[in-house]
């Protein structure tokens, strides 16, 4: 920010990253990880199980395949810089995961230290995935359908409501007390009402998910819109902007960072509501699957579903962040490069 000539000649920090690094050395962590995974596979085959687990050979095969894939990657990554850049930071985790899977097997299948049926070895989860994948897949589809429908409805309505609250005085006058009253109420509190007020448990759940996601989106959108600097409006007004322009081209883009915080919070609470609704009323979905598996003591199935649920939620959050990073690329410099 000093003299003008400096400013103009200085290159823009537009991501012309310095790629002139020294050629990468051998990826030792990768090779250790290969050994660790090979060890996990060997342990699975060579150490006899304490009880009969039908899927021990399958697990050994899976671990062997992982070992081969990792070995191939570790040996070729030096010639593939993009792969290298993604893979190398994962080194410690790849080692740790192999050790974790081994330890898990040792205390369950190999030594039987943990009480059954509450604890299951990894081969038991693998068994669930290989034998019950159809049911799990249908459950995922059901959960996703409820979640995405409810979230889409809730987020859109919340967004519109938030803009109304932030922009229009009458809407704020009537809407503010309502939101103040209903906002803090956990969406699950509506469960009993929702299940008799709606014709089906699915539509009740969609309503609950919409409510859970809509309220944070409404509140954050509202605070985003009302927090837009007056100077932004002054500029647009002196340049001849209509109120429509002020809403769509000034207020909404300026509020987007807040909106995304609301979308993130709403997504989190919609997961909670979805699982509760599926456990209590809906006869499908991952929440129902877990409840059902637990009901007849199939803890392996429960853990398997829990893992799938975790991956689904994490995936959706990651997707939301991807969308945010794309839409709010302009924020990078303000937050941090």
Partner 1 sequence: MVALAQQADQALLGLSLDISGISHHFDLDGGPLQVLDDVSFSVEPGEFVALLGPSGCGKSTLLRLVAGLEPPRQGQLLEDGAPITGPHPSRVVMFQDPTLYPWRNVWDNVALGLEARGLLKTHKTRVDDALRLVGLDGFAKAFPHQLSGGMAQRVSLARALVNDPRLLVLDEPLGKLDSLTRLAMQGELVDLWRRSGFTALLVTHDVEEALFLATRVLVFSERPARIVADLKVDMTYPRHRSNSYLAELRHEIMVLLGLGANW
CB of 19 to partner 1, least distance (A): 21
Return the residue of 72, 111, 229, 318 that touches partner 1, per CB under 8 A.
229
Q: Quick one: which segment of 5-13, 63-71, 271-279, 289-297 binds partner 1 (CB under 8 A)?
A: 5-13
Query: Quick count: other Cβ atoms within 10 Å of Cβ 209?
Result: 29
What's the rounded Cα separation, in Å, for the pair 219 and 133? Answer: 40
Q: Quick one: which segment of 49-57, 164-172, 228-236, 271-279 binds partner 1 (CB under 8 A)?
A: 228-236
Nearest C-alpha neighbor of 313 from the set 264, 257, 261: 264
Indicate the DSSP class of residue 175: H
- 302 close to 294: Cβ distance less than 8 angstroms: yes
By the rule CB under 8 A, 248 interacts with partner 1 = no
Return the residue of 39, 237, 268, 294 that touches partner 1, per CB under 8 A.
237
Return the residue of 84, 156, 223, 331 that touches partner 1, per CB under 8 A.
331
Q: Which is nearer to partner 1, 19 or 238 (CB)?
A: 238
Cα–Cα distances (Å) from 22 to 18, 82, 85, in that order, read: 11, 15, 13
- 218 close to 162: Cβ distance less than 8 angstroms: yes
Q: Which is nearer to partner 1, 296 or 337 (CB)?
A: 337
By the rule CB under 8 A, 46 interacts with partner 1 = no
Alpha helices, DSSP H, located in 227-251? 230-238, 243-245
Return the residue of 45, 153, 236, 265 that touches partner 1, per CB under 8 A.
236
Residue 99 CA to its chain's centroid (Å): 25
Q: Which is nearer to partner 1, 198 or 232 (CB)?
A: 232
What's the rounded Cα separation, in Å, for the pair 260 and 173? Answer: 25
By the rule CB under 8 A, 333 interacts with partner 1 = yes
CB of 3 to partner 1, least distance (A): 5
Return the residue of 16, 239, 296, 326 that touches partner 1, per CB under 8 A.
239
């Amino acid at each position: 920010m000093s003299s003008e000539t400096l400013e103009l000649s200085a290159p823009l920090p537009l991501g012309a990253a310095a790629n002139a690094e020294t050629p990468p050395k051998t990826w030792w962590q990768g090779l250790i990880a290969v050994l660790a995974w090979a060890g996990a596979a060997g342990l699975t085959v060579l150490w006899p199980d304490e009880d009969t687990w039908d899927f021990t050979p399958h697990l050994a095969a899976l671990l062997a395949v992982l070992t081969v894939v990792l070995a191939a990657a570790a040996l070729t990554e030096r010639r593939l810089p993009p792969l290298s850049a993604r893979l190398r930071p994962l080194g410690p985790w790849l080692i740790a995961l192999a050790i974790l899977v081994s330890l898990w097997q040792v205390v369950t299948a190999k030594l039987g230290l943990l009480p059954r049926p509450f604890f299951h070895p990894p081969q038991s989860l693998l068994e669930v995935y290989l034998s019950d994948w159809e049911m799990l897949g249908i459950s995922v589809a059901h959960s996703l359908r409820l979640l995405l429908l409810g979230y889409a409805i809730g987020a859109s309505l919340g967004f519109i409501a938030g803009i109304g609250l932030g922009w229009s005085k009458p809407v704020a006058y009537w809407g503010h007390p309502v939101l103040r009253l209903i906002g803090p109420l956990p969406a699950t509190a509506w469960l009993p009402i929702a299940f008799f007020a709606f014709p089906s448990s699915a539509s009740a759940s969609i309503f609950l998910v919409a409510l859970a996601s809509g309220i944070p989106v409404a509140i954050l959108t509202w605070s985003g819109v009302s927090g837009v600097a007056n100077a932004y409006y002054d500029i647009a007004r002196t340049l001849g902007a209509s109120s429509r322009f002020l809403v769509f081209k000034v207020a909404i883009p300026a509020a987007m960072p807040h909106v995304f915080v609301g979308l993130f919070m709403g997504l989190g609470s919609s997961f909670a509501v979805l699982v509760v609704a599926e456990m209590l009323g809906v006869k499908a979905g991952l929440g129902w699957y877990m409840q059902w598996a637990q009901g007849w003591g199939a803890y392996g199935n429960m853990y398997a579903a829990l893992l799938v649920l975790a991956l689904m939620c994490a995936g959706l959050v990651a997707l939301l962040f991807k969308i945010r990073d794309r839409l709010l690329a302009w924020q990078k410099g303000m937050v941090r490069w």
